[in-house]
Amino acid sequence: MNKHVGTETIRQWALKDIGRSNLELVEAAKPVPADNEVLVKIAAVSLNYRDNLLVETGLGFSRPNGQPMVPGSDAAGEVAAVGSAVTRFKPGDQVISTFMAGWVEGLGPGTARQPTSATLGGPLKGLLADYAVLDQECWVKAPKSLNAAAASTLVCAGLTAWTALVERGRLRAGQTVVVQGTGGVALFGLQIAAAHGAETLVISGDDAKLERAKALGATHGINRHNQDWVEAVWEMTGDRGADHILEIIGGAHLGKSLEAAAVGGRVSLIGILEGFDVSGSFAMLARKRLIVEGIQVGHRRSLEDLVRAVDRAGIKPVIDAEYEMADLPVALDHLARGPFGKIVVAVNPKK
């Protein structure tokens, strides 16, 4: 727990207080791994919607001792050094981070009163830095088939889609999956579903993005400006409806997903673009025996499963743009505009 500190310095993003103007690239002491810790030379950090929320709202996290927060949770890099008690990794290993400390498998930590929040990049120190240390239990071997930028996108976006569709959803060939939009989780949902032989319907307001989604393997694209997407799902499935829906918009939009779902279908709650309170019709829920499940990224064993799946099935994460370390603010702006897939910050690009 005691982080020994060396004399070398590293670059690190720090958020002194809420607000973009308080985000600074600073110098910090290079961390030294304690007995159970692994020091990683970060190569890439991929950004999430949540990172912008942290900068703009603080997400309700207190800053202990007034210390600046370090944003960024989804990193890939190379093990630079290991503590004396480390058994899971050795220097030179390519690794990715796990979003939620200590959730190895099963239900996971937390209580009814205090749902867990031991998550990286707030409240825990994040990874937008040249080097970072975490307990050895908080890293996972990276897939062999991806470079660091692509590997970093699995940590939250990839794992969220995997948890919803596979770990919890038992996705199988021949089922129908609806994904909303073309952001990071949506495109992973599309690719994971396609890798399992499922039919995929992508909903977007942008024909160009729908074309790109089809090039990635989407069975159908539905432009929600041109047609009622629920009616479109009914028609495309011969009235059967969708077995899985990734609800990324949230709020009252859940009601539409309930209409689009097949009997016994599953709606995975992932996003909150339209509001923190979700709502929908009891009649749809009861008469179709639907399941609505809240998804919070996923556990480490699932991430290890996803890594194997990515290597085996040849899934290539979609990166809309890569930015240099110093350009984090530009990257966050791009993220706020709604990328096609993921935005990645290259921290220590291999030369």
User: Which residue, among 166, 137, 142, has the nearest Cα to 34 in the 3D structure?
Assistant: 137
User: Whose Cβ is closer to its own copies: residue 12's or residue 73's?
Assistant: 73
Task: Give least dist CB 316 to its own copies, A.
Answer: 13
State the minimum distance, in angstroms, from the CB of residue 267 to its own copies.
Answer: 9
Contact 70, 131 (CB under 8 A): no
Annotate each residue in 206-225 with x if it binds its own copies (CB under 8 A) or - if it does not, as one string.
Answer: -------------x------
Instruction: Give the residue with the Cβ less far from its own copies, 92 or 238.
Output: 238
Which positions from 19 through 38 interact with its own copies, judged by CB under 8 A?
Answer: none
**226 is an interface residue for its own copies by CB under 8 A:** no
Show contacts with its own copies in window 156-195 (CB under 8 A): 166, 170-175, 192, 195
Number of chain residues interacting with its own copies (CB under 8 A): 82
Nearer to its own copies, 128 or 151 (CB): 151
Rounded CA-CA distance 347/344 in Å is: 9
Q: Which is nearer to its own copies, 129 or 193 (CB)?
A: 193
- Residue for token digits 């569709």? 165
State the Cα–Cα distance between residues 185 and 171, nearest whole angstrom. Answer: 16
Task: Name residues contacting its own copies, limited to 100-139 (CB under 8 A).
Answer: 104-117
Q: Which residues contact 105 (CB under 8 A, 6 or more apart)?
A: 299, 300, 301
**Concatenated DSSP letters for 143-192?**
PTTS-HHHHHTIIIIIHHHHIIIIITT---TT-EEEEESSBHHHHHHHHH
Radius of gyration from C-alpha coordinates of the chain: 20
By CB under 8 A, the residues from 257 to 316 that bind its own copies are 259-265, 269-270, 272, 275-296, 301, 305-313, 315
Q: Is the dihedral of CA 64, 68, 72, 76 positive or negative?
A: negative
CB of 121 to its own copies, least distance (A): 16
Task: Tell me the closest approach of the beta carbon of residue 313 to its own copies, in angstroms.
Answer: 3
Nearer to its own copies among residue 130 and residue 259 (C-beta): 259
